[in-house]
Structure 1
Amino acid sequence: MLRTCTILMLLSIVMVMTACNISGSEETSSEGSEVKENQEQQQEKTVPEDTMSDDGQQNSATDESEQSSNTTDDESSDDRDIAKPELYEPEEVSGRDNPEEGSGDVYPEALENLELPYIYENTLVYSGTINPEQSIRFEISQPDSEEVENVDPEVTEQGHFALPLDGMELEAGDELIVYVMGNMPHEQQFVLPIQPAEDGMELVESTSDTAVMNDIKEATDLPEFYENTSTYYGKTLPGVSVEVSEVDAFVASTQDLEVEEEGDFHGDFSNFPYQAAGEAGLQEGQHLLFRMTDEDGNLALFLTDILAPSDDPNYDGPISE
């Protein structure tokens, strides 16, 4: 009897110990699994899947973020970029030959505020800047003639000038002679080679656009101009004067438009340009140059296409808003 009791007690002890070992093993396994899972999660946070390259190498998430930021900035910069002409180097295009000063030298006075953009084969209107205290003259060859016409465009208080050139037959490789005069021992001559045609260079504008000039452009509203327009209305900033030039004639006609205090302007085009007997007025496919000049001499330019006559038999011109 005693032996039987002893055997039962030993069996009980063995069963208890076995159960404890099994429980401890399960707890250890569970703890190990949790540690491994935490390590994997931490590894996923450290190395995002989308930063792995095709060859299995790890890329920096920071580098990718910087690249994305740079791409966005580049795209925004491209959106802001506007086609601008290149500039002639004064030393390369100077045509003055003065033995006392040396051939090709440029007077320092001529370089003050000087900006001569490229002229292109398809340029209709050319503009740039010089010293406001100086003047500029262009030698324009007359069509089908060896004669030359001297044209002196008006220079604003900021030194801006603009000149219609469509009456001149421009060919790439030809040269346009320009003189800058005033406050120098002699006039300064520049020989500007004509560049091959380039899209967007029908109107060559100064590359030194200012915030004021951009403000004028943003505030200016020019409705469409039809061949049968007789009264024209538009809007610009208050205090800005408006002048319109004919572009497609060798000697351009100009007229000033009346500008109201709020910036609304209008003009009578029923006889512009002046028409002698048998002459035609403005025609479809021709152009008009609008010059907007503020009181400080900042100049903004607009080149407008003349459209086919309006189908409205009662059309007189755009209605002012």
Structure 2
Amino acid sequence: MRAYAQFILLSFFILVSTTACNDSDTEETSNAQENKENEQQEVDLEDAFSPNEDKNREEAKDTSEENKENEGVSEPGIYDPEEVSGRENPDADGNVVYPEALENLELPYIYENTLVYSGTVNPDQGIRFELLQPDSANKETVDPDVSEEGYFTIALNGTELEAGDELIIYIIGDMPHEQQLVLPIQPAEEGMELVEKISEKTAVEEIKQVTDLPEFYENTTTYYGKTSPEAIVNVSEIDPFTGDTMELEADENGDFSGDFSNFPYQAKGESGLQEGQMLLFTMTDVDGHVALFLSEIQPPSDDPQL
């Protein structure tokens, strides 16, 4: 009887131990399966979001590259009126610089590679440039037109500019005598072939966004383009001494056209457009804002529509 009781007790212990082991194995198996499912979910989530992450990385890369490009695009500096007028270092005669000459004065830097230059003066004043003629020691004065807002543009392609030299300009009109300013020529800098007014950058960009200038060919007779609605379009050679100008007007949709079959290429003493010739398009919108564009004449085209 005692032996039978011991057998019953031993069987009970074996059963409990087996159950505990099975429960432990079941729990471990369950945990392993749960961990595996969690790992799979993480993989699935990575797969689901990886395209967006790639896209975000690409966008971040594009933004970074764009920022680098923008960092590389510089704007022209501005001459200090106090310095270029000589007010900081007046001459021995103590010449007075009249305040009227400095009103509304905005003179961006002129660079060694500048082809077209623009700025502003007092609308009641005029501006005169003293330029050295090409292949000559002679100087000639050029008086660019000044708008009602005081804006002016002058082509400089016909004169040689060298860094370190000084360009002499004069502010004239409604003063006891003209005011002489001395502008140092800056070293060549990429993008400074065309120097535009800085203070109206937003308005200028708006004109540029709506302007479309197709290729201009040597055998182009009638040229069609698009710009700001009802804008005044001036097309001229970029030569201050011999350049000719054609004035056109855009319609209410901004479309304009002009007959260039007899446009004189006076810089070469010839009539008609020539390959390599540079033309300046000056767009003046209805509010008086001005945007400038350069267009190089291309070789003759086989298109009969030109």
- Name the TM tier (shorter chain): 0.7 to 0.9
Does the alignment pair 1:17 with 2:8? Answer: no
When residues 147 and 214 of structure 1 are mapped into structure 2, their CA distance, relative to the original with a 3 A threshold, is same
Q: Which residue of 1 aligns with 2:50?
A: none
Deviates more, 1:296-305 or 1:78-87: 78-87
What stretches of structure 1 of length at least 5 have no aligned partner?
Answer: 50-65
Q: Which residue of 2 aligns with 1:171?
A: 162
Task: Encode CA deviations 1:71-120: one digit per residue, 9 max, x unaligned.
Answer: 664444345564432333333433466469968x9766555443322222
What stretches of structure 2 of length at least 5 have no aligned partner?
Answer: 47-55
Does the alignment pair 1:301 with 2:301? Answer: no
Deviates more, 1:72-81 or 1:214-223: 72-81
* 8 Å contact kept, 2:129–2:169: yes
Task: Encode CA deviations 1:155-176: one digit per residue, 9 max, x unaligned.
Answer: 3344432111111122222221
The percent of aligned pairs where both chains have the same amino acid is 56
TM-score normalised to structure 2 length: 0.76
User: Amino acid of the residue matched to residue 9 of structure 1?
Assistant: A
* 8 Å contact kept, 2:264–2:270: no
Does the alignment pair 1:262 with 2:253? Answer: yes
Does the alignment pair 1:84 with 2:80? Answer: no
When residues 76 and 272 of structure 1 are mapped into structure 2, their CA distance, relative to the original with a 3 A threshold, is same
* 8 Å contact kept, 1:174–1:194: yes
User: Amino acid of the residue matched to residue 67 of structure 2?
Assistant: S
Q: Distance in 1 between matches of 2:230 and 2:128?
A: 28
CA RMSD of superposed structures (Å): 3.9
Secondary structure of 1:255's match?
strand
Secondary structure of 1:213's match?
helix
Does the alignment pair 1:115 with 2:106? Answer: yes
* 8 Å contact kept, 2:117–2:195: yes
Q: Distance in 2 between matches of 1:75 and 1:207?
A: 25
When residues 238 and 23 of structure 1 are mapped into structure 2, their CA distance, relative to the original with a 3 A threshold, is same
Does the alignment pair 1:162 with 2:153? Answer: yes
Secondary structure of 1:149's match?
strand
TM-score normalised to structure 1 length: 0.73
Task: Encode CA deviations 1:1-54: one digit per residue, 9 max, x unaligned.
Answer: xx3xx212221112212332343355457657878987xx79xx9xxx9xxxxx
1:227-306 equivalences in 2 (<5 Å): 227-248=218-239, 250-273=241-264, 279-306=270-297
Q: Which residue of 2 aligns with 1:206?
A: 197
* 8 Å contact kept, 2:142–2:240: no
Displacement after TM superposition at 1:302 (Å) = 0.6
Q: Which residue of 1 aligns with 2:139?
A: 148
Deviates more, 1:124-133 or 1:175-184: 175-184
Q: Distance in 1 between matches of 2:100 and 2:31?
A: 80
Q: Distance in 2 between matches of 1:102 and 1:15?
A: 124
* 8 Å contact kept, 1:179–1:187: yes
When residues 18 and 189 of structure 1 are mapped into structure 2, their CA distance, relative to the original with a 3 A threshold, is farther
Task: Encode CA deviations 1:258-307: one digit per residue, 9 max, x unaligned.
Answer: 4333322122223322769x744432111110100012210011101012
* 8 Å contact kept, 2:106–2:120: yes
Secondary structure of 2:207's match?
helix
Displacement after TM superposition at 1:125 (Å) = 0.8
User: Amino acid of the residue matched to residue 11 of structure 2?
Assistant: M
Q: Distance in 2 between matches of 1:265 and 1:120?
A: 32
**Which of 288, 298, 301 is the aligned partner of 1:310?**
301
